[in-house]
Amino acid sequence: MTDNLILGCVADDFTGASDAASFLMSKGLKTILFNGKPTGDIPKCQAVVIALKSRTQETKSAVADTIEAFQWLKEHGAQHLYFKYCSTFDSTKEGNIGPVVDAMLETFDEKYTILCPALPVNKRTVSKGILYVDGVPLHETHMKNHPLTPMWESEIAKLMEPQGKYQTLNIDQTLLAQDTESIKAIIREFGAEKAHFYIVPDYTCDADGTKIAEVFGDLTVLTGGSGILAPLAERYLANAEKQDIAPLCTNVTGKGIVLAGSCSKATLEQIADFQQKGYPSYKIDPLEVLQGKENLENIWNFVKQHADQEVLLYSSDSADHVLEIQKAGKDKIAALLEGLTADLAARAVENGYTRIIVAGGETSSAVAKKLGYHSFEIGESIAPGVPVMSPLSNEKIRVVLKSGNFGQQDFFARALQMTRK
């Protein structure tokens, strides 16, 4: 058991885990991130975030792996358990958010929990139970064409219907403005004859987050994006033992490289910006990889030709082109690209690169696994939800792993600059 472990979080992919860890750390909650369920003792900390790869995993396995991770956290003293998923609730009708939430409620004997994906700082808000991205209902945004998890609906209750077993209560702005006891009375009335249920609170601004943490922070089981984690951390720290935290130095000596596998609109814009700034870049053609015409050595030769520069290697492409490519075998191509990118990251570290910048959730998971780093210290964020991290096993390395949709347009240049000594 770990003393003072306030929060145990399990995220459904690696970039989601680093996103969660960055918001917890930003409020002073000492946080360690693990890639997969930890083994052995853990360093002294107040929060642990475990990264799984369960977002697109087969549902039965996703539920089993997530519950196993939460049970480990509970055994090690975690007072609150938090299931972290994407702020765009990216899950298909057959997706895993509902089954995991149901299993948490049933396993840990909690009557209800919140579904709180909102992240206002990144323009993801919930109003009257509907999830918006920059003021546009989720299913009307460009993310409706996501190649792995197309966004088909914006009302969270409807998103849960084909996945979860229980009913949803929306807490809109009018209800949220009431005092805590009045809100809880409404909740008790709604759940009087229900075994379990979900609550979707409106969350459009920081004040909403503070109120949600006040009303629901005592629950053992909580779920959502990273947005509510900052106010939860503030609430928990108000009653916790103070700890002195030495900040992680974000910059190190050595070369940097950028690897991108995300096909999100944001990442495509970041690639274009990077190229416009004059950085060398190499586009990896998925079909040529599939046909054996493209390989690690070809791509690494490009890196060696620009040994005195920081380069970008990317397989990112537009949604239309990706859908066309996937006709040749969606899962096979994805696995090949993730494996190739992970091998490139390993080759970079072997050749003295100390700053590894990666875009894309699945790509980041593959890279982290290949490099063999199992635990990370969390540093300052380059953008909301995207921190600089250092493996506990190698303090000379800095890793930045970002979700495809996150980051400013000049994110890659910023990340290289911020990690460069």
Average pLDDT of the residues in 98-102: 97
Identify residue 262 by its one-letter amino acid code: S
| The predicted structure's pLDDT at residue 411 | 98
Separation of alpha carbons 255 and 388, rounded Å: 15
Separation of alpha carbons 38 and 4, rounded Å: 17
Name all contacts of 332-338 with Cβ < 8 Å and 24+ positions apart: 332/290, 333/286, 333/289, 333/290, 334/362, 336/286, 336/289, 336/290, 337/261, 337/284, 337/286, 337/289, 337/363, 338/261, 338/362, 338/363, 338/365, 338/366
pLDDT at residue 184 is higher than 70: yes
In percent, how much of the chain has pLDDT > 90? 71
Give 168's contacts (C-beta < 8 A, 6+ positions apart): 115, 129, 156, 157, 160, 197, 198, 199, 200
Average pLDDT of the residues in 316-326: 65
pLDDT at residue 68 is higher than 60: yes
Query: What are the structure tokens assigned to 80, written together?
Result: 């609150």
Radius of gyration over every alpha carbon of the chain, rounded to an integer in angstroms: 21
Three-state secondary structure call for residue 83: strand
From the CB of residue 209, how many other CB atoms can be counted at a distance below 10 Å? 24
* Nearest residue to 160 via CA among 95, 106, 204: 95
| The predicted structure's pLDDT at residue 290 | 86
Residue found under tokens 């108000």? 238
| The predicted structure's pLDDT at residue 261 | 92
Average pLDDT of the residues in 225-229: 97
| The predicted structure's pLDDT at residue 194 | 97
Among 26-30, 69-73, 102-106, 169-173, the least confident range = 26-30
Average pLDDT of the residues in 191-212: 97
Name all contacts of 290-293 with Cβ < 8 Å and 24+ positions apart: 290/328, 290/329, 290/332, 290/333, 290/336
pLDDT at residue 207 is higher than 60: yes
Q: How confident is the model at residue 34 (pLDDT cuts 50, 70, 90)?
A: very high
Q: How confident is the model at residue 319 (pLDDT cuts 50, 70, 90)?
A: low
| The predicted structure's pLDDT at residue 244 | 67
| The predicted structure's pLDDT at residue 2 | 56
| The predicted structure's pLDDT at residue 245 | 66
Separation of alpha carbons 414 and 399, rounded Å: 13
DSSP state of 420: B
Average pLDDT of the residues in 263-280: 95
Average pLDDT of the residues in 243-253: 83
Among 297-306, 329-338, 347-356, 408-417, the least confident range = 329-338
Q: How confident is the model at residue 187 (pLDDT cuts 50, 70, 90)?
A: very high
Quick check: 116 and 228 in contact, CB under 8 A?
yes
Mean residue pLDDT across the chain: 91
Quick check: 247 and 379 in contact, CB under 8 A?
yes
| The predicted structure's pLDDT at residue 43 | 82
pLDDT at residue 283 is higher than 90: yes
